Structure 1
Amino acid sequence: MSTKELEVRLKERNIRPTAVRLLVLREMMSMEEHQAFSLLDLENRLDTVDKSTLYRTITHFHENLLIHSIDDGSGSIKYSVCRRGCDCSVPQSHVHFSCTECNRTFCLDNIAIPKVGLPSGFSYESANFVFKGICSDCSKRHN
């Protein structure tokens, strides 16, 4: 993605493009398609960026709905860049898949989280739906 395209993505979410934010977003966008990443993944890939700056940048991106978080049960929150136009509301949420062999987590953008009828008086603000199993790459290695 060009710098201009990255700037547009940031501005769409009311995030001021700075050199560090552009660098972090570029790295996030370079991750394997549909694969989620952890803060540690970014720290390892962007070892020249101060850890606290990286954490603040991720937090800012999350607060402005540029990325969404995934609790895949690994003990480390994962993140993924949101699709354009996504507002991270429950109706726009999608299923995630966590591979028990390679420990990667993937966004399954085309599989919506099913609607759940909650009891009267209950309302939900977020949903986390994670399948666990063996991803296609790991399955190929077993065959």
Structure 2
Amino acid sequence: MQENLKQILKNHSLRITDCRLDVMQYFLDEKNALSQGDLENRLTKYDRVTLYRTLNSFLDSGILHKIPNETGSATYGLCHDTCSPDHHDHNHIHFKCNTCGQIECLNQQQPMPKVSLPEGYQTEGINLIVDGKCANCA
């Protein structure tokens, strides 16, 4: 598994560090969106700045995408194989459970609704969060 993580970092032109490997493993294990606070609570051997820089390097390289929420703090989800530093393709629905608070990407399971903008406007991305109860809490 460690070799797979290293290959992901290499494919995104990132230097291999223990922190990057640990953060990547945590995202793969959880399969839900995570906040910087989640990382700080789980990966206590790294300081806040190191984790912040790791998240930003993953955002910039196309490994993660940012999911805004109603509190103003961001959560982060793994990108699809189609993302790169130059192009993020993560216009998909996110689901937030009102009971446990988990946010997950629904990916291609549900099509995104069509958005019609006024003339002169140009779409660069769509963030859609549906809230309710997840399968575990329902």
**Shared topology, TM-score over 0.5?**
yes
Structure 2: how far apart are the matches of 1:19 and 1:111?
36
What is the match of residue 21 of structure 2? Answer: 22
What is the match of residue 104 of structure 1? Answer: 102
The one-letter amino acid paired with 1:131 is V
Structure 1: how far apart are the matches of 2:114 and 2:7?
33
Structure 2: how far apart are the matches of 1:123 and 1:68?
20
1:88 lines up with 2:85 in the alignment: no
Query: Unpaired runs of 5+ in structure 2?
Result: none
Q: Is the 8 A contact 2:82 2:88 kept in 1?
A: no
* Matched pairs, number: 134
1:60 lines up with 2:57 in the alignment: yes
1:36 lines up with 2:47 in the alignment: no
Moved over 3 A (4+): none
Report % sequence identity: 36
Structure 2: how far apart are the matches of 1:19 and 1:136?
34
Measure how far apart 1:29 and its partner are: 1.2
Structure 2: how far apart are the matches of 1:8 and 1:82?
15
State the SS of the aligned residue for 2:76. Answer: strand
Query: Unpaired runs of 5+ in structure 1?
Result: none
Q: Tell me the C-alpha RMSD between the 2 structures.
A: 1.4
Structure 1: how far apart are the matches of 2:10 and 2:114?
32
Cα offsets for 1:79-129 (capped at 9, x unmatched): 11112223423xx41100111111111110122322312111101222110
Structure 2: how far apart are the matches of 1:138 and 1:19?
34
Structure 2: how far apart are the matches of 1:112 and 1:56?
33
Give the structure-2-normalised TM-score: 0.89
The one-letter amino acid paired with 1:88 is H
State the SS of the aligned residue for 1:25. Answer: helix
